[in-house]
Amino acid sequence: MRSSSIFAAAVILAASAGAANAAIVVYNFGLDGLQEVPANASPGIGSATVTLDTVSGAVSVTGTYSGMIGTVTAAHIHGLAPVGVNAGILIHLTHTGGTSGTLGGGGVLSAANIQGMLDELTYINVHTTFLPGGEIRGQVVPTPASLALMGLGGLAGLRRRR
């Protein structure tokens, strides 16, 4: 009886090993003209939520924008670049509305770009007729609650080892 319990525990542990390495990271952040390169005085603002699966590289984006001077023509995730530096397009996003509206979409990042997003080297840029290079921008940075949950998960894992 005891050996079958040990075998069952081993099977469960093996099956969950891959899931233990998976992590969903959620980012919530603002977008504005001061984050653009070069910075601008646009009254436009926005907010975005980015969800990243660190195993598959799947990324999804939802967001809003308002108060833009120009009509939105495009939106993208760009990278890899730190705050204050421009970079190429990684993922094209959809947008609805003219000077106010929504952002959405997603795609799959390569392993290098997954690490770049984790290292805060990606940003969302919203381009308009007024500023074709980008009217508002926001660096993809972690939500404080996500970091706390990841820390609690790590503590739980340490506790189980004892």
CA distance 17 to 58: 20
Domain tally, the chain: 1
Is the pLDDT at 19 greater than 80? The verdict is: no
Residue 87 lies in a domain: yes
pLDDT(96) > 70? yes
Q: How far apart are CA 40 and CA 31, in angstroms?
A: 12
33-43 pLDDT, tens digit each: 999 999 999 99
pLDDT per residue as tens digits for the range 102-127: 999 999 999 999 999 999 999 999 99
Neighbours of 12 (CB within 10 A): 10
Residue 52 belongs to a domain: yes
Ranking 44-53, 80-89, 102-111, 150-159 by mean pLDDT, the lowest is: 150-159
Q: Is residue 90 in some structural domain?
A: yes
Report if residue 11 sits inside a domain.
no
> From residue 46, how far is each of 7, 14, 83, 89, 155 by CA, in Å?
53, 43, 17, 19, 35
Mean pLDDT in residue range 139-148: 70
Structure tokens at 38: 């070069």
Q: Which residues contact 1 (CB under 8 A, 6 or more apart)?
A: none
Residue 71 structural domain: 23-161
In a domain, 9, yes or no: no
Q: Is the pLDDT of residue 100 over 70?
A: yes
Domain membership of residue 32 (yes or no) is yes
Q: Once rounded to an integer, what is the mean pLDDT over residues 49-75?
A: 98
Please check whether residue 49 lies inside any domain of the structure.
Answer: yes
The answer to whether position 18 is within a domain reads: no
CATH number at residue 113: 2.60.40
**Is the pLDDT at 13 greater than 70, yes or no?**
no
